[in-house]
Amino acid sequence: MAALLMAVYFQGMTDEETLALTRIMIDSGERWDWSHLDGPVGDKHSTGGVGDKVSLVLAPLLAACGVYVPMVSGRGLGHTGGTLDKMESIPGYRTDLTHDDFDRLLRSVGYAMGGQTGAFAPLDKELYALRDVTGTVESIPLITASIMSKKIAEGLDALVLDVKWGDGAFMRRRDDAERLAERLIRIGGEFGLKTEALLTDMNQPLGRAVGHALELGEAIAMLRGEPVEGRLREVVEGLAARLLVVSGADAGEAAAAGRVRRALAEGGALERFRKNVEAQGGDPRVTDDPARLPSAPVRRELRAPRAGWIARLPAHAIGEELVEIGGGRRVKGEAVDLGVGFEFPRTVGERVEEGETWCVVHARSDADADLAQQRLEGIVAWSDSAVEPPPVITARFA
């Protein structure tokens, strides 16, 4: 198998070969069937990024709009965070769900958030472990088969993909991300799964928070209708609207976008989130009091050395620094500190006055805060003139 993976890594695979591998991986386990539900079933998959808390908002938002979401998520590894780790910031929250748990939660709440059960696409788990040790992780055919085998086995009617590119993404180059998006959509179509993809920029963190509990707090703020960073809102609303259209829940983009905004503004998505937290064993009071989430004892404000605009906040370095202070894992199974992280009151394209706080470090010790401060102050880039931030959604593939 290791030899085969190496051959694929260097030689690639045709569409027909990628399709065959995906089918074999699907057939290695069970396929879920949600035909008994009275509405469309959809999900979203992100290729991973820094500060990516989109799923935390998107799942309850879609449920409030009439789409059932059996969201099967992963844990963080390296500089990118994982949805399950973020949700487990909530005291008592359970993510080890069985198929029956998913069924119960879909019926009662409209969505569920759990890890891969091992019941579907178990071959993917074995292959991924081999890819990790043979240096063959970054292969578009192998990535495609891994993602799509699990999503097809989920029994979905529709899937939207958030394919990230840039400094903090798995795919650094945009053209590689485009090729991956096209391959994912093509494989989805071969199995009758309606699939679309948005290409999103990951050259800076998404939102203003990086770190598990901090990101969950930002997601709750958005669900509560509070102002959030514009790029985060654009990605959440863009993915949600497209899934409503692709799944058939709404006929057009304008109607879908309006429905999404109403679900956020009128509290429907927040109520679904509260019900889900309680149904999965968590403390629902976090929706009204995010201070109940884990926190770090040291809070260090980093202040601007001069007035100007933030020109660059490299996402990869920020994600790596989170790992350094304990907020990420380098190997699977390693414990993470859910309370540490960074907040960015100002981000790329925003003006900062001299002495104004542009970053807040949440650390376990003064020593960790010192190291993080030194690192972050060394990577931020300043400009004396106004900076136009790049668009966050850079393309759509269907």
Residues 209-243: tens digit of each pLDDT:
999 999 999 999 999 999 999 999 999 999 999 99
Task: Clarify whether 146 is annotated catalytic.
Answer: yes
Residue 76 confidence (pLDDT) above 80: no
pLDDT tens-digit profile of 134-155? 888 889 999 999 999 999 999 9
pLDDT tens-digit profile of 82-123? 888 899 999 999 999 999 999 999 999 999 999 877 777 889
What pLDDT, on the 0 to 100 scale, is given for residue 77?
Answer: 58
The DSSP string of 154-216 is: TT-SEEEEEEEESTTSSB-SHHHHHHHHHHHHHHHHHTT-EEEEEEEE-SS-SSSEESHHHHH
User: CB-based contacts of 203: which residues, under 8 Å, 6+ apart?
Assistant: 166, 167, 168, 312, 314, 315, 390
Q: Enumerate helices (H) and strands (E) in the chain, giving the number of each.
A: 14, 13
Three-class SS state of 116: coil
44, 45, 275, 300: which is the annotated catalytic residue? Answer: 45
What distance in Å separates the CA atoms of residue 308 and residue 353, rounded to the nearest whole number? 7
User: CB-based contacts of 44: which residues, under 8 Å, 6+ apart?
Assistant: 54, 55, 58, 59, 71, 159, 160, 161, 162, 239, 243
55, 146, 149, 247: which is the annotated catalytic residue? Answer: 146
pLDDT tens-digit profile of 375-387? 999 999 999 999 9
What pLDDT, on the 0 to 100 scale, is given for residue 329?
Answer: 74
Name which of 54, 46, 93 is nearest 209 in CA terms: 54
Question: Is the sign of the CA dihedral 274, 51, 296, 92 positive or negative?
Answer: positive
pLDDT tens-digit profile of 238-249? 999 999 999 999
Residue type, 7: A
Phi, psi of 198 (to 5 degrees): -105, 135
Q: Which residues of 78-95 are buried (b: 16+ CB within 10 A; e: fewer)?
A: ebbbbbbbbbbbbeebeb
C-beta separation of 201 from 166 below 8 A: yes
Kindly state the helix (H) or strand (E) to which residue 398 belongs, with its residue range: none
43, 52, 85, 124: which is the annotated catalytic residue? Answer: 124
**pLDDT band at residue 251 using 50, 70 and 90 as cut-offs:** confident
What distance in Å separates the CA atoms of residue 309 and residue 306, rounded to the nearest whole number? 10
75, 79, 131, 274: which is the annotated catalytic residue? Answer: 131
Q: Which two tokens stand for residue 313?
A: 């906040």
Which residue has better confidence, 125 or 60?
60
What are the structural domains of the chain? 2-287 (3.40.1030.10), 295-383 (3.90.1170.30)
Quick one: CA torsion of 72, 76, 81, 87, rounded to 10 degrees?
50
What pLDDT, on the 0 to 100 scale, is given for residue 384?
Answer: 96
pLDDT tens-digit profile of 300-337? 999 999 999 999 999 999 999 999 999 987 776 678 89
Residue 78 confidence (pLDDT) above 60: no
Sheet of 308-312: strand order equals 351-352, 308-312, 381-383
Residue 358 confidence (pLDDT) above 60: yes
44, 53, 150, 183: which is the annotated catalytic residue? Answer: 150
The DSSP string of 50-75 is: TT--HHHHHHHHHHHTT-BEEEEE--
Residue 158 confidence (pLDDT) above 70: yes
Residue type, 325: I
Which residue has better confidence, 133 or 325?
325
DSSP annotation of 80: B
Phi, psi of 35 (to 5 degrees): -65, -15
Total Cβ atoms within 10 A of residue 302: 19
